[in-house]
Structure 1
Amino acid sequence: MLTTRRRAAAALLVLALGATACGGDGDDDPADPSGGTFSITITTPENPLIPTNTTESEGNLVLSGLFTGLIEYDPETSEAVYSGVAESIESDDSTLWTVRLKDGWTFHDGTPVDAASFVDAWNYGALSTNAQGASYFFSNIVGYADVQAAEGGTPAATAMSGLKVVDPRTFTVQLSSPFAQFPLTVGYNAFFPLPKAFFDDPVAFGKQPIGNGPFRADEPFVPDVGFTMSRYDDYAGEPAKADGVQVKVIADINTQYLEIQAGNLDVLDQIPPDAITSAPDEFGDRYLTRPSSSTTYLNFPTYDPRFADKRVRQAFSMAIDRQAIVDAVFDGTREPAYSAISPVVDGSRGDACDYCQYKPDEAKALLDQTDFDTSTPVDLWFNAAAGHDEWVQAVGNNLRDALGITYRLQAALQP
């Protein structure tokens, strides 16, 4: 619904590679801006720190420092760059892809990153009995259907037939249909490699991952507390400049902001909406912004019969004044989303969603054509203590004013 146009800091990987730490011991040479440690904050990740079971921002932020995929994404342009493990990803028909790996990449336990590290990881993520949240990322690979089964059932296979190890540095991927953009997708954390140690003890691994990224986990991650990561000196990519990162779990975005104001936190990648106008002056050149490809949205519970009719969903969408919310709540630091693809991503179109335009009269007329029960309140769920309250309430007010519905704000505590 809303596209984040500017963010208040860079991602962990950007900091790892290009930023001087703020929490050093004071002995660093000013002419050599490296060393020291810095602190960041997240809320507790939803699941253990396993790449194929991480589908939310908090776990992904941690994994981005612990792992490196086949490709990476330029932090300024979001374009795919071959600075990761892949030497090349090529296909003559956009269906059968050959992936060749660079030499010299190792996991934090010293074992090599090879073709099996990717193939085994992807097969684990796809297999339905492993119940991995990112399983769907592999759905276009031949054999995916064979590793799926209904709950309690047994899949016909335990590995996708479309993945083949050719040699230690080469594997092939057979897709179910041509997909020219396939190389651009494999930088997502679902496609990260896994060492043999993962398969020996996935539970322990989820607490203290063994990755191949610029930082290594010094200790198990403690929910509601955090952990520390240190620079991996044998990293095959561009080495981190900071010696380490302290990851602090702080559940409330307002508390996070107070901590950075007090100097107890070095980096905060989002700020509360009510601080947007004052933060640039308060932090001066410590306040950094950059375009972001993230999108904020509300999902419809289509399992609820009230929302089964697409005209209901279309009416709700046209009843929301995205631009007014951007201006009033976010002080113009977001952009209305008229496409599922962020404007910073090549190929994004601003006219892709006809029903994302604010048309309250048409919305009411369309809803009146349905059997939607306006006497029952609509529950608007959002993560508590994450700065969502004001914009979700604005959405509710739009729906009330345009469609005549009532609503209830439902704040869910994050895990």
Structure 2
Amino acid sequence: MTKWRSMFAITAGALLVVSACSSEDEPEDAAGSTGGTFSVGTDEPDHLTANRMTGAFDEVWALYAPLTKFADTAELQYVQAESVESDDATTWTITIKDGWTWHNGEPVTAQNYADAWNATAYGPNAWGNNGQLSNIEGYDELNPTEGEPTAEELSGVEVVDERTLRVTLKTADSQFPYKLSQPGFVALPEVAFDDLDAYDEAPIGNGPFMMDGTWEHDVEIRMVRYDDYQGDDQPNADEVIFRIYSDANTAYTDAIGGQVDIVSVPQTRLRQVEQDFGDRFIPFQAVRLDWLGFPLWDERYQDIKVRQAISMAIDRDEVNDAIFAGVYTPASSFHGPNAIGGGTEGLCGEFCEFNPERANELLDESDWEGSTLELWFPGGVGYEQTFEALANQVRQNLDAIDEVELKTQPGFPAFIEALEDETVTGMFRGGWGSLYPSMQNQLSAVWASTGDARAGAGGYVEPEVDQLILAANAAPSEDEAAALYQEAEARVFEDFPAVPLFYATYNFAHSENVSNVIIGFSQIELTQVVVNE
């Protein structure tokens, strides 16, 4: 767990300046520029446009430069931003660095940010990261609950000059600079709007790597070093190839043989990964929670006792040892302790403890009818053993359940679409790796009514949770904010809309062809990878 260094001090009338690492703070890259080509195993992305995608983080952060970022420490870094300032945490002035260019040579401007944010926030576009901009003034006019939008641009985004944006929020948010590290806040070049679908096939970004040709669907995405990249994190390698796999286990096997260099370790291989890769196995303790969600639009799951019974029927320690080789930590709250303020350990109480006797009592007391449950998860990404184990636990430990049917969709995009369309008819895989190390991220993304990842909450909405999150956002100190975020978490627990399972890690392994592989909050730090001679 990374110790959090205080970054904010908000007082009335005082200028709020977010301190962050800059080029003067960071040491020179010890590895130096080494050249060469390396490859990364990935699944087929939904999009390569940062503001639209929901699962292509490595590809997007190769192509685009965010305003701010977190690497492998919980310390905010400026990338494209020169400064982010406010005197009330409501109106923010963002100055972007001079000299940055798009991969086509055009300058990156404040207008590029405004255009991208307007397109992301415009509801009819249905872009995946729309919700990340929900606290900016004018968002509601672009996303009405009924009828058509009454505007096409965010009234809270003003282009002051070529390098300056003024952003007005609906409510105070001391952690707004953290949010600028998210893909929804990336800029887009003018050319993107000529044909958005064509652009998505070969995006022109402003990041450390640029496209080499077009996206070859279900095969690979090739990128080369952008020599005019202005970031401090200059790439070591000349080229990165994202090899697309339909099965994470195949990618893992290819990494053993050196046919692909860096892969995410599927859960099915955690018991053998140290034997296969030794010190080339890299687990990173991110701010991540895995849970079982429920389709709360289905009346069978609306009784809280049904959800609590299923939770108590699962032996988390046994699953952790059998499937994850003890790498994960059984969860006892909706948010792990490895973030600002952390979650409240033990908040789940008896309902996260394995107790089949009490689980059966709860199910008998509930209005549950039937003997079959369904368990939905994305297929082909290495989750099969995990969900077979969870299904067996529920079936074996709940007397009224004779069968737990496993339902898979081909990869994450199809799975997420099924959740968003509310066609899921049973328990489902829930998971969130926070994009920045604050309780705000998961709470706002998953459990708030405006969250961009609220499909994972199964339709859960609670106005009191929304209000507590807003109060935490506007709190005058980190301690007060943390207390309110924890109160919001506790309020979610009163409704028990999901079953906390594990505080999970990001698990990667790499071949002998590469070294200096660093995993962070945005997953692989691609610029740091060294190709061995």
Q: Could you tell me which residue of structure 2 aligns to residue 52 of structure 1?
A: 51
Given candidates 330, 334, 339, the residue that maps to 2:333 is 339
Q: 1:351 aligns with which of 340, 346, 350?
A: 346
CA distance in structure 2 between the partners assigned to 1:145 and 1:413 by the alignment? 34
Q: CA deviation at 1:254?
A: 1.6
Mean alpha-carbon deviation: is it higher for 121-130 or for 171-180?
A: 171-180
Amino acid at match of 1:70: L
Note if contact 1:85-1:102 (Cα within 8 Å) is conserved in structure 2.
yes
Picking from 396, 408, 412, the partner of 2:409 is 412
Alignment partner of 1:268 out of 263, 269, 273: 263
Counterpart position of 1:310: 304
Unaligned runs of 5+ in 1: 4-16, 21-31
How far does the alpha carbon of each residue in 1:273-308 deviate from its partner, in whole angstroms, 9 at most, with x for none? 2x3343323333433333233333332111111112
One-letter amino acid of the structure 2 residue matched with residue 386 of structure 1? V
Q: Which amino acid aligns with 1:184?
A: Y
Q: Is 194-203 or 88-97 further displaced after alignment?
A: 88-97
- Identical amino acids, percent of aligned pairs: 38
Q: Give the corresponding residue for 2:288.
A: 294
SS of the residue 1:239 aligns to? coil
Match of 2:455 in 1: none
Query: Given that residues 270 and 323 in structure 2 are in contact (C-alpha distance below 8 angstroms), is that contact kept between their aligned partners in structure 1?
Result: no
Q: How many residues align?
A: 381
Name the SS of the counterpart of 1:365 in structure 2: helix
Are the aligned partners of 1:72 and 1:80 in contact in 2 as well (CA < 8 Å)?
yes
Aligned partners of 1:260 and 1:18: how far apart in 2? 26
Instruction: Give yes or no for the alignment of 1:43 onto 2:43.
Output: yes
Contact 2:267-2:324 at 8 Å conserved across structures? no
Matched, 1:121 2:116: yes
Superposed counterparts of 1:10-89, under 5 Å: 34-45=34-45, 47-56=46-55, 59-75=56-72, 77-82=73-78, 84-89=79-84
Change (3 A) 1:306 1:157: same
Q: Equivalent residue for 1:371?
A: 367
| CA–CA distance in structure 2, aligned partners of residues 382 and 137 of structure 1 | 25
Q: Distance in 1 between matches of 2:391 and 2:159?
A: 52
Task: Give the secondary-structure state (helix, strand or coil) at the position aligned to 1:347.
Answer: coil
- Work out the CA distance in 2 between the residues paired with 1:199 and 1:319: 51
| Structure 2 gaps, min length 5 | 2-27, 415-533
Q: Which amino acid aligns with 2:67?
A: L
Gap change, CA 1:129 and 1:400, over 3 Å in 2: same
Aligned twin of 1:107: 102
CA shift in 2, pair 1:219/1:401, >3 Å: same
Indicate how the Cα distance of structure 1 residues 250 and 93 shifts in structure 2: closer, same or farther if over 3 A, else same. same
TM-score by length of 2: 0.67
Are 1:226 and 2:220 an aligned pair? yes
Secondary structure in 2 matching 1:157: coil
**Shift of residue 259, structure 1, vs aligned partner:** 0.9
SS at match of 2:158: strand
In structure 2, what is the equivalent of residue 13 of structure 1?
none
Give CA deviations for 1:65-123 in whole Å, capped at 9, x if unaligned: 11111101122x243222x1112222222222221211122111112222222221111
Structure 1 range deviating more: 181-190 or 356-365:
356-365
For the Cα contact (< 8 Å) 2:267–2:323, is it kept in 1? no
C-alpha distance in structure 2 between counterparts of 1:212 and 1:192, whole Å = 10
Q: What is the CA deviation profile of residues 372-414 of structure 1, one whole-angstrom value per residue up to 9, with x for unaligned ones?
A: 2242x21111122222111112222222234332310112222
Q: Give the one of 171, 174, 189 matched to 1:177.
A: 171
Matching residue of 1:26: none
Aligned to 1:6: none
Could you tell me whether the CA contact under 8 Å between 1:216 and 1:230 is conserved in 2?
A: yes
TM-score normalised by L of structure 1: 0.85
User: Are residue 146 (structure 1) and residue 145 (structure 2) matched?
Assistant: no
2:218–2:245 contact (8 Å) kept in structure 1: yes
Contact 1:318 1:360 in 2 (8 A): yes
Whichever residue aligns with residue 248 of structure 1, its letter is: R
- Report Cα offsets for 1:180-212 as digits up to 9, x if no partner: 111112101121111111111101111111111
Displacement of 1:219 in angstroms is: 1.2
One-letter identity of the residue aligned with 1:345: A
The verdict on how the C-alpha distance between 1:180 and 1:360 changes in structure 2, with shifts beyond 3 A counting, is farther
Between the aligned partners of 1:66 and 1:317, the Cα distance in structure 2 is: 41
Deviation string 1:15-42 (CA, Å, 9 cap, x unpaired) is xx9797xxxxxxxxxxx66100101111
Question: Any idea what SS the aligned residue of 1:315 has?
Answer: helix
Q: C-alpha offsets along residues 94-153 of structure 1, whole Å, 9 cap, x if unaligned?
A: 2222212111221111122222222211111111111112211111112111001468x4
CA distance in 2, matches of 1:356, 1:288: 28
Please show how residues 137-286 of structure 1 align to structure 2 within 5 Å: 137-149=132-144, 153-237=147-231, 238-273=233-268, 275-286=269-280
The answer (yes or no) to whether the contact 1:78–1:344 under 8 Å persists in 2 is no
Name the counterpart of 2:438.
none
